[in-house]
């Protein structure tokens, strides 16, 4: 089928074509791959080949379905899933272009959630030198999503392109996964050097002539992986093999996750684009083959799984939230059941995984306040005004969106990524997908007082659209900290914050510290004032001593003989606790101590509760100064998953950070899990440093453990 025929059939993507009423006429595929693999170029050229966009026009790199992001366009990299649709052979194909930068793994997972299959793009020149760490990490994500896959070998026009070496490398990476990689196209060059790509499954009987090694490998692999005995008999007997039978077996093997077809493309010249579109139509399973999704009622009770039934009750999910050129929210939605129509009231079930929780298991005064998406309980109702089919940042109105299809919705109010939209008569919530944890802190402050309101508004917008971003208002350090997934993510977040009109500056992240006393001591608090009329009189003597780590603050009353009336003892305790929480050294609360009230004096007229609060505070200051203090820092339990070959480097790096390794154990094949305790100060840049140290192959988690004395240098 020539390109002119493709363009004619595409007809620019009319509304009726972009709103199929049968899920069998929909294919949603996530385009995944490392940076510089050519994903966005491939998507643009596929759209042009199908007539969805003019060949001279395109969806600019970094432009997303919901975000006119000048910073992303400046960096020439995608930072969120961008969706565009085309029509090929009567089938609507949704192409979900995902970011290749490791910092935007959460957006990759969103794209995989919206898809029924994966087009994994690998540059032939890059793969010939071995699959890099980011590629391996993305391959692991695709396996985790358990979606059928097609491997696309791109950039065939590169001077160092080597299809055979690239395929061999990809097969090596896939070894042990049970996936069989087999080419379905043949790549080459004409006499003038023009790249050519020919499909192996072409003609009425692709095996009519003596098949070459490549075609023979394909047919035999299809027979083996589809377990088609009839095809096996025909092949062995030398009978004609129908193209339809081969395509059916290809679809069966791909749906079983047993076979990964490999197609070569040269997007700039158009070579292989038609064959790839045919492959998506023929081999990618329709949405009705998607397994039922676990679900729950809005109150958390059980609910039957959601089947991909176009005639069932409406169930859809917001897989990405962004903003349009005017700053209004736009929601990218995957419909899993039923049909989504305009002018419809829907029940919203918030995803509990997206509701902010206290960081790192902190407790009491160690809690850090969170600013994030609106915390909503139960279900609420929104109205859908219009339904759109996205083409990058362009929205084309359609009459409906059927199960298995994707659409964009606007003006849904507080609806956030991960929320479920369902029919009012049968409200349901889908179990959400896991997001990568943001582990890189960036502290920001308003450039001046006049910029504070603009920064607050910008942070609120970011919290609603950046699912992997956590905005923390630290009660100890009084800093606003943006928790990002890496430096690239931090750059984009800061650029968007400033683009919203907020003048902000980046400052060093402050680490909360505590103090405890080095030994026992006593302190006298004397608050006596006489200024006419009722004066102020309160005297108390306390003893202070250290307690084991994690004990907090203990107050003991040992007053005898009524030297301090019982009514004033709570005032002493209140003053003691307030001063310990404020710290004798500003910003360092005193913890893990026992304070014993042993003596004091009162006046029948001039004593008061407030006077004894002041006396208790003064007594603490004197006692702590006499005892001496030990500065304590936050200690974290860290788990690092690292390739065995890099284990030594990671252990040495942890030691340089005053980390204490508490154990190692085998992880997945070829990896080791390292458990260690590391001071928080040493973890501020650890996401960046660990990625650089291990070429991005290692990952880690962290959890607050306790406070311990600062490690000596």
Residue the block writes with tokens 């702590």: 624
CA dist 79 → 65, 103, 404, 469, 713 (Å)? 11, 9, 24, 13, 40
Better-predicted residue by pLDDT, 301 or 505: 505
CB–CB of 506/464 below 8 Å?
no
Q: Which residues contact 62 (CB under 8 A, 6 or more apart)?
A: 69, 72, 73, 74, 75, 76, 77, 78, 79
Measured in whole angstroms, the distance separating CA 288 from the mean position of its chain's CA atoms is 27
In which element (H, E) is residue 321 found? strand 315-323
Residue 227 has a pLDDT of: 82
Q: Is residue 219 part of a domain?
A: no
Q: Is residue 244 part of a domain?
A: no
How confident is the model over 485-500, as a mean pLDDT?
92
With 50 as the cut, is the pLDDT of residue 365 above it?
A: no
Indicate the pLDDT class of residue 554, thresholds 50, 70 and 90. Answer: very high
Residues 587 and 568 grouped into a single domain: yes
How many Å apart are CA 191 and CA 23, to the nearest integer? Answer: 44
Tokens at residue 74, please? 């400046």
Residue 352 has a pLDDT of: 64
With 50 as the cut, is the pLDDT of residue 7 above it?
A: no
- CA gyration radius, the chain: 32
Better-predicted residue by pLDDT, 75 or 474: 474
Residue 360 has a pLDDT of: 45
Task: Tell me whether strands 180-183 and 259-264 are parallel, antiparallel or unpaired.
Answer: parallel
How many Å apart are CA 291 and CA 116, to the nearest integer? Answer: 10
Residues 410 and 470 grouped into a single domain: no
Q: pLDDT tens, 366-421?
A: 333 333 334 444 568 899 999 999 888 888 899 999 999 999 999 888 788 899 99
SS3 426: coil
Q: pLDDT tens, 57-76?
A: 444 433 333 344 444 444 44
With 70 as the cut, is the pLDDT of residue 694 above it?
A: yes
Task: Give the highest mean pLDDT range of 296-300, 431-435, 572-576.
Answer: 572-576
Q: pLDDT tens, 627-656?
A: 999 999 999 999 999 999 999 999 999 999
Residue 381 has a pLDDT of: 87
Q: Poorest-confidence range of 169-173, 175-179, 266-270, 490-494? A: 175-179
CATH number at residue 423: 2.40.30.10
Residue 532 has a pLDDT of: 64
Q: Is residue 230 part of a domain?
A: no
How confident is the model over 568-594, as a mean pLDDT?
94
Of 583, 617, 577, nearest to 515 (Cα)? 583
Residue 77 half-sphere exposure toward CB, CA atoms < 13 A: 18
Sheet holding 536-546, edge to edge: 521-529, 536-546, 593-601, 553-557
Q: Is residue 445 part of a domain?
A: yes
SS3 536: strand
Domain stop point among 566, 592, 627: 627
Q: Is residue 241 part of a domain?
A: no
Domain stop point among 408, 430, 452: 430
CB–CB of 171/182 below 8 Å?
no
Per residue, the 3-state secondary structure of 673-705, as one string, reads EEEEEEEHHHHCCHHHHHHHHCCCCCEEEEEEE
Q: Is residue 568 part of a domain?
A: yes
- Per DSSP (E only), the strands in 415-511 are 420-423, 429-430, 440-446, 470-473, 480-484, 504-507
- State phi, psi for 380 to the nearest 5 degrees: -135, 175
Better-predicted residue by pLDDT, 608 or 137: 608
With 60 as the cut, is the pLDDT of residue 217 above it?
A: yes
How confident is the model over 615-634, as a mean pLDDT?
95
Residues 9 and 100 grouped into a single domain: yes
With 90 as the cut, is the pLDDT of residue 575 above it?
A: yes
Task: Tell me whether strands 513-517 and 521-529 are parallel, antiparallel or unpaired.
Answer: unpaired
Q: Is residue 481 part of a domain?
A: yes
Residues 199 and 282 grouped into a single domain: yes
Residues 610 and 652 grouped into a single domain: no
DSSP 8-class letter at 173: H
CATH number at residue 68: 3.40.50.300
Residues 638 and 567 grouped into a single domain: no
Q: What percent of the chain has pLDDT over 70?
A: 88
Burial class of residue 638, CB neighbours in 10 A (0-12, 13-18, 19+): buried
Better-predicted residue by pLDDT, 573 or 11: 573
Task: Give the highest mean pLDDT range of 13-22, 65-74, 261-270.
Answer: 261-270
Tokens at residue 505, please? 């500056």
Residues 266 and 334 grouped into a single domain: no
Better-predicted residue by pLDDT, 604 or 365: 604
DSSP of 323-342: E-TTS-EEEEEEEEESEE-S
Better-predicted residue by pLDDT, 26 or 123: 26
Residues 99 and 128 grouped into a single domain: yes
Residue 54 has a pLDDT of: 83
Residue the block writes with tokens 């039934």: 309
Domain stop point among 510, 535, 552: 510
Residue 209 has a pLDDT of: 61
CATH number at residue 640: 3.30.70.240
How confident is the model over 508-535, as a mean pLDDT?
90
Mean pLDDT of the chain: 85
CB–CB of 601/539 below 8 Å?
yes
Of 669, 634, 675, 668, nearest to 651 (Cα)? 675
Indicate the pLDDT class of residue 276, thresholds 50, 70 and 90. Answer: very high
How many Å apart are CA 568 and CA 183, to the nearest integer? Answer: 85
Residue 320 half-sphere exposure toward CB, CA atoms < 13 A: 31
Domain limits at 342? 293-430
Q: Which residues contact 139 (CB under 8 A, 6 or more apart)?
A: 120, 131, 173, 174
Tokens at residue 315, please? 């169930």
- Work out the number of other CB atoms within 10 angstroms of the CB of residue 125: 19
Residues 55 and 160 grouped into a single domain: yes
Residue 12 has a pLDDT of: 47
How many Å apart are CA 453 and CA 473, to the nearest integer? Answer: 15
Buried b (16+ CB within 10 A) or exposed e, 575-600: bbbebbeebbeeebbbbbbbbbbebb
Residues 410 and 469 grouped into a single domain: no
| Structural domains counted in the chain | 5
Residue 210 has a pLDDT of: 59
Residues 98 and 186 grouped into a single domain: yes
DSSP 8-class letter at 46: H
Residues 281 and 343 grouped into a single domain: no
Q: Is residue 646 part of a domain?
A: yes
Q: Which residues contact 712 (CB under 8 A, 6 or more apart)?
A: none
- Per DSSP (E only), the strands in 393-459 are 394-398, 401-402, 406-410, 420-423, 429-430, 440-446
How many Å apart are CA 327 and CA 14, to the nearest integer? Answer: 27
Residue 4 has a pLDDT of: 30
CATH number at residue 491: 3.30.70.870
How many Å apart are CA 565 and CA 604, to the nearest integer? Answer: 10
**pTM, whole model, 2 decimals?**
0.83
SS3 152: strand
Measured on CA atoms in the order 673, 678, 684, 688, is the torsion positive or negative?
negative
CB–CB of 266/181 below 8 Å?
no
Measured on CA atoms in the order 443, 449, 454, 456, is the torsion positive or negative?
positive
């Amino acid at each position: 089928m020539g390109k002119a025929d493709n363009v004619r059939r595409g007809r620019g993507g009319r509304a009726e074509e972009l709103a199929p009423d049968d899920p069998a006429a929909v294919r949603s595929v996530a385009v995944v791959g490392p940076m510089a693999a050519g994903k966005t170029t491939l998507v643009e050229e596929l759209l042009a080949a199908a007539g969805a966009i003019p060949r001279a026009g395109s969806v600019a790199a970094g432009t997303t379905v919901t975000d006119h992001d000048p910073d992303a366009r400046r960096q020439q990299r995608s930072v969120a899933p961008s969706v565009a649709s085309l029509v090929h052979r009567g089938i609507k194909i949704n192409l979900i272009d995902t970011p290749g930068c490791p910092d935007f793994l959460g957006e990759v997972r969103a794209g995989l959630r919206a898809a029924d299959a994966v087009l994994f793009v690998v540059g032939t020149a890059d793969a010939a030198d071995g699959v890099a760490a980011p590629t391996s990490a993305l391959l692991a994500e695709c396996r985790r999503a358990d979606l059928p896959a097609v491997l696309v070998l791109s950039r065939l026009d590169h001077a160092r392109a080597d299809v055979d070496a690239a395929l061999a490398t990809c097969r090596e990476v896939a070894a042990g996964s049970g996936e069989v990689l087999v080419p379905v196209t043949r790549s080459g060059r004409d006499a003038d050097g023009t790249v050519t790509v020919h499909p192996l499954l072409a003609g009425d009987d692709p095996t009519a002539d003596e098949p070459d090694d490549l075609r023979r490998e394909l047919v035999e692999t299809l027979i083996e992986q589809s377990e088609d005995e009839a095809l096996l008999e025909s092949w062995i007997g030398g009978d004609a093999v129908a193209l339809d039978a081969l395509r059916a077996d290809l679809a069966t093997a791909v749906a079983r996750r047993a076979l990964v077809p490999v197609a070569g493309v040269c997007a700039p010249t158009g070579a292989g684009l038609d064959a790839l579109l045919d492959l998506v139509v023929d081999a990618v399973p329709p949405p009705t083959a998607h397994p039922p999704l676990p679900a729950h009622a809005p109150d958390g009770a059980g609910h039957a799984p959601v089947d991909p039934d176009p005639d069932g009750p409406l169930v859809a999910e917001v897989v990405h939230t962004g903003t349009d050129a005017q700053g209004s929210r736009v929601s990218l939605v995957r419909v899993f059941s039923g049909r989504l129509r305009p002018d419809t009231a829907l029940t919203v079930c918030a995803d509990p995984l997206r509701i902010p929780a206290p960081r790192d298991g902190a407790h009491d005064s160690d809690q850090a306040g969170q600013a994030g998406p609106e915390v909503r309980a139960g279900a609420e109702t929104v109205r859908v005004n219009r339904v759109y089919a996205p083409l990058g940042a362009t929205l084309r109105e359609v009459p409906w969106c059927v199960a298995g299809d994707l659409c964009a919705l606007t003006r849904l109010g507080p609806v956030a990524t991960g929320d479920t939209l369902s029919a009012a008569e049968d409200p349901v919530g889908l179990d959400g997908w896991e997001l990568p944890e943001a582990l890189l802190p960036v502290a920001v402050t308003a450039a001046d007082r006049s910029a504070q309101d603009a920064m607050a508004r910008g942070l609120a917008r970011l919290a609603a659209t950046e699912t992997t971003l956590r905005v923390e208002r630290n009660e100890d350090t009084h800093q606003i900290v943006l928790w990002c997934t890496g430096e690239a993510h931090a750059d984009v977040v800061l650029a968007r914050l400033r683009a919203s009109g907020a003048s902000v500056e980046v400052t060093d992240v402050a680490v909360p510290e505590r103090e405890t006393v080095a030994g026992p001591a006593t302190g006298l608090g004397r608050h006596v004032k006489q200024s006419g009329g009722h004066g102020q009189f309160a005297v108390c003597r306390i003893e202070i001593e250290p307690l084991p780590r994690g004990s907090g603050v203990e107050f003991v009353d040992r007053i005898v003989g009524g030297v301090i009336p019982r009514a004033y003892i709570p005032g002493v305790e209140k003053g003691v606790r307030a001063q310990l929480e404020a710290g004798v050294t500003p910003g360092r609360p005193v913890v893990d101590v026992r304070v014993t009230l042993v003596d004091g004096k009162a006046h029948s007229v001039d004593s008061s509760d407030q006077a004894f609060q002041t006396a208790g505070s003064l007594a603490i200051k004197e006692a702590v100064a006499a005892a001496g203090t030990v500065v304590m820092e936050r200690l974290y339990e860290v788990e690092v998953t690292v390739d065995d070959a890099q284990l030594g480097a990671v252990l040495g790096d942890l030691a340089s950070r005053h980390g204490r390794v508490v154990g190692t154990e085998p992880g997945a094949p070829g990896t080791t899990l390292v458990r260690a305790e590391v001071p928080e100060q040493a973890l501020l840049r650890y996401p960046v440093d660990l990625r650089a140290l291990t070429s991005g192959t290692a990952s880690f988690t962290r959890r607050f453990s306790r406070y311990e004395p600062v490690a000596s240098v």
